[in-house]
Chains A and B, each alone.
Chain A
Amino acid sequence: MEKFTTFTSRMAPLPIDNIDTDQIIPARFLKTTSKAGLGDQLFCDWRYDENGNPKADFILNRPEGHAAQVLLAGDNFGCGSSREHAPWALTQYGFRAVISTSFADIFRGNALKNSLLPIVVPPDAHKKLFAMVEKNPEATVTVDLEDEELTLPDDSVVKFTIDQFAKTCMLEGVDELGYILQQEAAIAAYEAGRPLTVNTLAS
Chain B
Amino acid sequence: MAEKNGAGQKPRTIIEKVWDKHVVAERAGAPTLLYIDLHLVHEVTSPQAFSGLRERGLKVRRPDLTIGTTDHSIPTYDRSLPIVDKVAGAQIEQFEKNCRDFGIPFFGPHSSKQGIVHIIGPEQGLTQPGMTVVCGDSHTATHGAFGALAFGIGTSQVEHVLATQCLLQSRSKTYEVRVEGTLKPGVGAKDIILNLISRIGIGGGTGCVFEYAGSAIRSLSMEERMTICNMSIEGGARAGLVAPDDTTYQYVAGRPYAPKGAEWEKALKLWRELPTDEGAVFDKRIDIDANSLEPMITFGTNPGMGIAITAPVPDPAQLNDPLERDSLSKALRYMDLPSGKPLLGHPVNVVFIGSCTNSRISDLRAAAEIFKGRKVNPKVRVMVVPGSQQVKEQAQAEGLDRIFKEAGADWREAGCSMCIAMNGDQLQPGEYSVSTSNRNFEGRQGKGGRTFLASPLTAAATAVTGVVTDVRTLV
Contact = CB atoms under 8 A, between A and B. Distances in A.
Interface of A: 15-18, 20, 22-23, 26-28, 30-35, 45, 50, 74-76, 79-85, 87, 102-106, 109-110, 113-114, 163-165, 168, 175-177, 179-181, 183, 186-187, 190-191, 194-203
Contacts of A114: 156
A183 B444 contact: no
Interface string B40-58: 0000110110011000100
Given A16-B327, A82-B153, 14 more contacts: A17-B324, A18-B304, A30-B72, A33-B47, A85-B155, A165-B29, A165-B30, A165-B31, A175-B156, A177-B164, A187-B166, A191-B165, A199-B257, A203-B257
B209 to A, nearest CB: 10
Interface string B192-215: 000000000011001100000000
Given A16-B326, A30-B44, A31-B88, A187 B160 contact: no
Given A176-B168, A177-B159, A180-B166, A76 B37 contact: no
B203 A104 contact: yes
Contact of A33 (B31, B63, B94): B94
B362 interface: no
B170 interface: yes
Contacts of B182: none
Which of A30, A113, A181 has the most B CB atoms < 10 Å from its CB?
Answer: A30
Nearest to B49: A84
Contact of A28 (B64, B65, B236, B421): B421
A19 to B, nearest CB: 10
Contacts of B160: 176-177, 180
B157 A80 contact: no
A103 B33 CA distance: 23
A33 B49 CA distance: 10
Contacts of B45: 30, 82-84
A75 to B, nearest CB: 7
10 closest residue pairs by CB, A with B? A33-B47, A76-B203, A110-B154, A84-B154, A82-B152, A84-B155, A82-B138, A186-B25, A113-B156, A22-B441
A18 B202 contact: yes
Nearest to B105: A200
A-side binding surface: helix, strand, loop or mixed?
loop
26 contacts: A16-B323, A26-B447, A27-B422, A28-B447, A31-B87, A31-B422, A76-B202, A79-B203, A82-B153, A84-B45, A85-B155, A102-B206, A103-B206, A105-B207, A109-B153, A113-B157, A163-B31, A165-B31, A181-B163, A190-B25, A190-B35, A191-B165, A197-B38, A197-B131, A199-B65, A203-B257
B442 interface: yes
B439 interface: yes
Given A34-B47, A203-B257, A106 B202 contact: no
B236 A104 contact: yes
A16 B85 contact: no
A71 B157 CA distance: 24
Which of A85, A109, A179 has the most B CB atoms < 10 Å from its CB?
Answer: A109
Contacts of B429: 50
Interface in B129-182: 131, 136-138, 152-157, 159-160, 163-166, 168, 170
Contacts of A87: 154
Contacts of B263: 196
